Structure 1
Amino acid sequence: MKTIKFIVGLVSIIGLTFGISCSKSSEPKEAEVPPEKEVTVKVMTYNIYGARSGGIPDLQPLADVIKRADPDLVALQEVDKNTSRNAKHGDIAKKLGELTGMDYFFAKADNFYGGEYGDAVLSKLPVKEKKGFNLEVDPTLGGERRSVARIKVEKEGKAFYFLSTHFDHLGDERNRIKQSTDFVTMVKEFDLPVIGGGDLNARPDSETMRIVRTYFTMGCLNGNCSQPTFPSSGGDRTIDYLFYAPLDAFTPKQYGVYTWANKESDHFPVLAVFKIN
């Protein structure tokens, strides 16, 4: 009789334990959230030296520099379109797009050599929108009107603007001060984050760059934009930049001046990789 009671008790205990175990295993577990994949974009700014006397002799070396650097987006300055100076190339932005396998957009700054002159962008990313703007000169100084070429792009569902510009080159800084002020005012009205590239013809400690930095963050790591970008024959000044806004939209991951490209233009190309936040 005792044996039977023991067996019944043991079965009850086992059943109770099993029941508790089953009830615990049926409780839903908190889902583990996988880490978010880092989305980056590689961008380049490059003054292609179109304003030199006689124009650009050959586009292939410029295209080869871009293909070797392999950016997603390129900001180009000193770009001719159907000018007599670069008659054999016609629409330079279009031709460089064909040679690199990238989409393109040209923004006119002014009429020039029987055609047009301005800035352009190239893109591997799908281009959703293309738009051009102008930057005027200080009327007390005079000089060349400048342009801004802007495209809207998207990478892995993250949309932003990419643009190219080129500030005045005169020794007197009044035009650059006006253009940088107008540029910042313009971009503040954009409805998406911005990455820009350009030959700003201004050194890091200039008033022009102080104005630019009131809204933009320089893409150079730790804010150290000291590596020379001009001239490519023996760089002694930093005047080409990559920059972004707002501050929390992107995170710089890499930044460098490609000094190996020292024959194709009088400027070195500047490259950066940004994490898109």
Structure 2
Amino acid sequence: MKKISWLIMMISLLFVQQSCRKSYDPGNWDVLPERETEEPEVPEDTPSKSFKVMSVNMRVSTAADFEPMLEAIKEYDPDLLFLRQVDSATTRAEKVNRPQAIADALKMELFFKKNFDYQTGGFGNAVLSKFPIVEKSAQLLRREEGNNAELRSLVMIKVEVAPNQGLYFAGTELDPSNVNNRNLQVVDLLNATERLSDPIILVGNFNEQEKDNGQVLTYLKGSYTFACLGNGCPLNSPKANPTGIYDYITFQDGASSISISKYEAFPKSSNTFLPMTAEFKLKLKE
């Protein structure tokens, strides 16, 4: 009797177990048995290289202001540096080649574009790099026909950040007073960079506030990533109590190999503009 009861209990238990399982029609080949979800493997961190970018207005009013600005740049110690509105060997700079002096102090390579002759030297833009420079290019940007506004330029270098991995670093300052000049100049910028296949970091003063909904930022946002737009860009002028944004650090990278990890204004300056800084990461090729 005990054996019969035990057998009945086992059959009942087996029936319960079977009734709890899903039933699959062996003739329905579109339905597959369920399987436990496997925990995805956590990928190893992609090897990357970090580097720092700085964009500086160098229009210091006196020769005495140059040394504090140089010390501020040395304190941040960028890997890529853009100097806009910089004197080279002018009388007011006591004939000091300021771009070269900064390059020597930070042990960087230099490319300077003179926008025009001034006093005993020149006035223009410079890009500097701690990475080897493999290409250099520069061009003056357009003005309306008959317009005699100050000449503006785009300066650009290609650097080798890691073996067989290069990127372009470019800087500019657009016309602050003539919107038609700015609109021509932003088209020049886009034409100069649209065919480049490697990542591009474009920095400088575009002389347009986002709230104005102008063409310059609209055009640039179509091609470049602004890390801060929509999230509140760091204000950088006037330095004592900043109310405006006059410098941006942007980038373009179809392969998503570079990214910004930090973006802020540097708190020291010898003029009314605080420098803009950003930290980038470059994914290294395996």
Aligned residue for 1:10?
A: none
User: Is 1:119–1:165's contact at 8 Å kept on the other side of the alignment?
Assistant: yes
Per-residue Cα deviation, 1:222-257 (whole angstroms, up to 9, x for no partner): 653532111213211001000111352421111011
User: Is 1:60–1:99's contact at 8 Å kept on the other side of the alignment?
Assistant: no
Q: 1:46 aligns with which of 39, 44, 56?
A: 56
Per-residue Cα deviation, 1:152-183 (whole angstroms, up to 9, x for no partner): 1122232101111111121x311111111111
Aligned residue for 1:120?
A: 126
Q: 1:134 aligns with which of 140, 145, 149?
A: 140
Pick closer, same or farther for the CA change 1:169–1:130 going to 2, 3 Å: same
User: Is 2:95–2:120's contact at 8 Å kept on the other side of the alignment?
Assistant: no
Aligned pairs for 1:11-160 within 5 A: 35-50=45-60, 52=61, 55-89=62-96, 91-139=97-145, 141-157=147-163, 158-160=165-167
User: Is 1:75–1:196's contact at 8 Å kept on the other side of the alignment?
Assistant: no
Aligned pairs for 1:129-208 within 5 A: 129-139=135-145, 141-157=147-163, 158-170=165-177, 172-205=178-211, 206-208=214-216
SS of the equivalent of 2:210 reads coil
* TM-score, normalization by structure 2: 0.76
Cα distance in 2 for residues equivalent to 1:56 and 1:202? 29
2:220 corresponds to 1:212: yes
Cα distance in 2 for residues equivalent to 1:272 and 1:181? 25
- Superposition RMSD in Å: 2.1
User: Is 1:252–1:274's contact at 8 Å kept on the other side of the alignment?
Assistant: yes
Aligned residue for 2:10?
A: none
When the two structures are aligned, how many residues end up with a matched partner?
238
User: Is 1:219–1:272's contact at 8 Å kept on the other side of the alignment?
Assistant: no
Per-residue Cα deviation, 1:37-65 (whole angstroms, up to 9, x for no partner): 12222111111124x4xx44343211211
Pick closer, same or farther for the CA change 1:33–1:233 going to 2, 3 Å: closer
Cα distance in 1 for residues equivalent to 2:258 and 2:56? 21
SS of the equivalent of 1:39 reads strand
* TM-score, normalization by structure 1: 0.78
Deviates more, 1:127-136 or 1:194-203: 127-136
Aligned residue for 1:16?
A: none
Deviation of 1:118 (Å): 0.9
Cα distance in 2 for residues equivalent to 1:207 and 1:239? 16
Structure number with greater Rg is 2
Gaps of at least 5 residues in structure 2 are 1-41
Q: Percent identity?
A: 27
Aligned residue for 2:13?
A: none
SS of the equivalent of 1:59 reads helix
Deviation of 1:140 (Å): 5.4
Gaps of at least 5 residues in structure 1 are 1-31
Cα distance in 1 for residues equivalent to 2:222 and 2:115? 25
